[in-house]
Amino acid sequence: MDQLTDEVEANLTRHIDAAAHWQPHDYVPWDDGRNFGFLGGTDWDPSQSELGETAKLALTVSVLVADNLPSYHRELGKYLRRGPWWRWVGRWTAEENRHEILIRNYLMVTRAVDPEELERLRLAHMTLGFRRPSMHLLDVLAASAFEEMAAAVRHRNTEALDENPIVTEIARRLAVDDEMQAEFFANLISAAFDLAPDQTMRAIADRVADFRVPEVVLADGSSSDDALAAAGIYDRAKEPELVFGPLLAQWKVFSRTDLGATGEQARAELEHLRP
């Protein structure tokens, strides 16, 4: 961890300098809002939603994944607890929380989804929480890079729906954030290759082998994995091309000449991903 501290500091500075200073409230059409029945207004009815089913699904899954932020913060913070590492955890957590704030406000103000059902799903999803198996630091960095790349894919596909100008811009904004976060973790893996190429390759192979995106149980009991794949928002079958491929290329996984026997064995396990 100490050997990568300078890289963390430099990448944290780069990330903050490059990040757009956008505000979640700017993307919410507040004029569309009105009280629900509890405050004398009108309770939700399906006819009030103007979103297509695919956009509803995509935003519902995105907000529920973001709702589980306390679990992700805890799991990341277990490994990154000192100096610039901890400052990065704080920055990452703040950015992810902003995503949840934006999507939930948009869904509630526009009455795009049933608020009571969404709250039931939130409670259930957060109660289950999220736990990582015990990992080495390099495994955490590789897994995080893949997770952020996958989130960017999901949001880019939501953007491509062209549902309406606001949803399109929300999805684009979140995708940009995810891509920048993926870049942070990926840059640290690149630096780790210079320090410990065999261990780094081993971590990448292990995290590819057990990679799973966050899964949400939907209101009908189905899995978000299946629903998102069917809707064309996120298909696990495309992970080799869209999630793993760009990062393996950045890390020059298949052209490195600095590996020992352990690293070569790990690389052999990634051969099925060679372009």
Number of helices and strands in the chain (H, E): 12, 0
Taking the C-alpha atoms of residue 214 and residue 208, their distance in angstroms, rounded to an integer, is: 15
Annotation-wise, does 148 bind a ligand?
Answer: yes
Answer yes or no: is 99 a known binding residue. Answer: yes
- pLDDT at 8 (0 to 100): 92
Which pLDDT band holds residue 81 (cuts at 50, 70, 90)?
confident
Q: Are 192 and 141 in contact (CB under 8 A)?
A: yes
Structure-token match 């009571």, residue found: 116
Contacts of 264 (CB under 8 A, 6+ apart): none
Q: What's the one-letter identity of residue 49?
A: S
In angstroms, the CA 128 to CA 106 distance is 25
Give residue 116's pLDDT band: very low, low, confident or very high (50, 70, 90). Answer: very high
Give the integer Cα–Cα distance in Å for 79 and 65.
Answer: 21
Which pTM value belongs to this model?
Answer: 0.93
Rounded to 5 degrees, φ, ψ at 182 are: -60, -40
pLDDT digits (tens, 9 = 90+) for 160-195: 999 999 999 999 999 999 999 999 999 999 999 999
- The CA distances from residue 6 to 3, 12, 13, in Å, are 7, 10, 11
The DSSP-derived string for 167-187 is HHHHHHHHHHHHHHHHHHHHH
pLDDT on residue 9: 93
Tell whether 73 is in a known binding site: no
User: What does the pLDDT read at residue 222?
Assistant: 87
pLDDT of residue 179: 97
Burial class (CB in 10 A: 0-12, 13-18, 19+), 217: middle
Residue 146 CA to residue 156 CA, distance in Å, equals 15
Give the pLDDT band (50/70/90) at residue 1. low
Spatial contact of 193 and 266, defined as CB atoms under 8 Å apart = no
Q: What is the largest CA-CA distance in the chain?
A: 70
Distance in angstroms (rounded) separating the CA atoms of residues 72 and 257 = 35
Q: Residue 74: what pLDDT?
A: 73
Residue 76 binned pLDDT confidence (cut-offs 50, 70, 90) = confident
Average pLDDT over residues 238-263: 97
> Which structure tokens are listed for 46?
């399906």
Q: Does the pLDDT at position 141 exceed 90?
A: yes
The residue whose two tokens read 């261990």 is 199
pLDDT at 108: 97
Query: What local confidence, expressed as pLDDT, does residue 3 receive?
Result: 85
Q: What is the mean pLDDT of residues 19-37?
A: 94
26 close to 134: Cβ distance less than 8 angstroms: no
Does the pLDDT value for residue 246 go beyond 70? yes
Computed over every residue of the chain, the mean pLDDT equals 92
Q: Can you list the positions of beta strands (E) in 96-135? A: none
- Domain containing residue 261: 2-273
The pLDDT of residue 48 is above 70: yes
The tally of domains found in the chain comes to 1
Question: Residue range 244-254: average pLDDT?
Answer: 97
- Higher per-residue confidence, 198 vs 74: 198
Report the pLDDT value the prediction gives residue 230, as an integer from 0 to 100: 94
CA separation, residue 38 to residues 34, 43, 87, 214 (Å): 11, 8, 41, 33
Task: Say which CATH number the domain at 207 has.
Answer: 1.10.620.20
Burial annotation 106-125 (CB, 10 A radius, 16+ → b, else e): bbbebbbbbeeebeebbeeb
Cβ atoms within 10 A of the Cβ of 61, count? 27
